[in-house]
Copies of this chain bind each other. A is one copy, B any other.
Amino acid sequence: MKSLDGAATVVDHGGSLGRARALFPHAPQPFVDLSTGINPHSYPFFDLPATALSRLPEAARVRELAEVAASVYGAPSAANVVATPGTQILLPRVASLASPGKALVLGPTYAEHHRAAAIAGHAVTEVDVFEVLAGADLAIIVNPNNPDGRIIERKKLLDLAGKLRAKGGLLVVDEAFMDVGPHAESLAGDVEQGGIVVLRSFGKFFGLAGLRLGFALADALTVEQLEAQFGPWAVAGPALEYGIRALADSGWRAEMRCRLAEDAARLDALFGRFGVSVAGGTTLFRYIGLADAAGLFSALGERGILLRHFSGRPHVLRAGLPGPDEEWQRLESALADWAQQRDDNTKEVKQ
């Protein structure tokens, strides 16, 4: 853990097997990693042309990517899209579009927004009432929210954006999980109004988080400002090639949305069988509220099943989707063990 000059501390994240091994050194491996919201069913791998590795990415290919992204995400045009190596790297640059001032993040949510706004020089506060955001110079909302799946309606967002714009403020909507809907609440089509930046993530829905590909959608002038910060060749050849092919694959996207919805329902049912109720989420991750969430996290972790816990919030967990059948079976048997032990303990107390 490193501390930053006048900024937030580096935060814990899901998705690290190194951290998992340190936490649960005696767990059976490989881990079943449900600590992220990354789709376990990756877009099918394909052979890349050698030039994707050897040559500098071509500007024409970057334009193609921006065009398909604009079309799929619903942005007015490719001029409203900047592609970058992941959305993560965008956060401080987007936060820097607003002069240092008062940043409000609708929480609880993805912790990196707080950190990024702080290193961009803002005084950052997490708030839990939507209406308060109107008092910000920079307002940040994750929609649908991570980890609880909370959805803010587009109408309310546009109203907020209008208020912020009127005083030179900026609304950032992180739509990292909007690929699984509800699309009607996306602001992608509204960015040309100005004062709005929408973030979209490629790696989560397509299960290709290692490629590093993300997008900011904004008015064309803001897109130019962001492009200037990243320079030419920001997106690597492999990310360009996968991005263009996968985004354009509307059949895969539609089927995957169905499959994820089925998997999410199956996961809810599985948790439910053991008395764990799912309180929200998206179809890429489920949000669990449980008095003994910490106990469940540890019990599953010791059996090699990683959920996401949140420091300072001992009663909630997030669970991504298992992939292959074996992962479902391991989760089921770990839950059964945990429930058995819980029930035994309850009996002991009663005796």
A binding-site residues for B, Cβ under 8 Å = 2, 4-5, 7, 10, 13, 15-19, 33, 36, 38, 42, 45, 50-60, 85-86, 88-89, 91-92, 112, 115-116, 119, 203, 207-212, 224-225, 227-239, 242
Contact = CB atoms under 8 A, between A and B. Distances in A.
A237 B242 CA distance: 14
Contact of A229 (B36, B50, B92, B225): B92
Given A36-B56, A88-B234, 7 more contacts: A16-B58, A18-B60, A53-B210, A54-B210, A92-B231, A119-B228, A212-B236
A224 B236 CA distance: 24
A36 B211 CA distance: 25
A160 to B, nearest CB: 26
A228 B282 CA distance: 29
A211 B237 contact: yes
Nearest to A40: B54
Q: How many copies does the complex hold?
A: 2
A18 B58 contact: yes
A5 B207 CA distance: 37
A85 to B, nearest CB: 4
The 3 lowest CB-CB distance pairs between A and B, nearest first, are A210-B237, A212-B236, A15-B56
B59 A53 contact: no
B210 A238 contact: yes
Contact of A207 (B7, B45, B54, B224): B54
A208 B53 contact: yes
A143 to B, nearest CB: 21
Contacts of A210: 51-57, 236-238
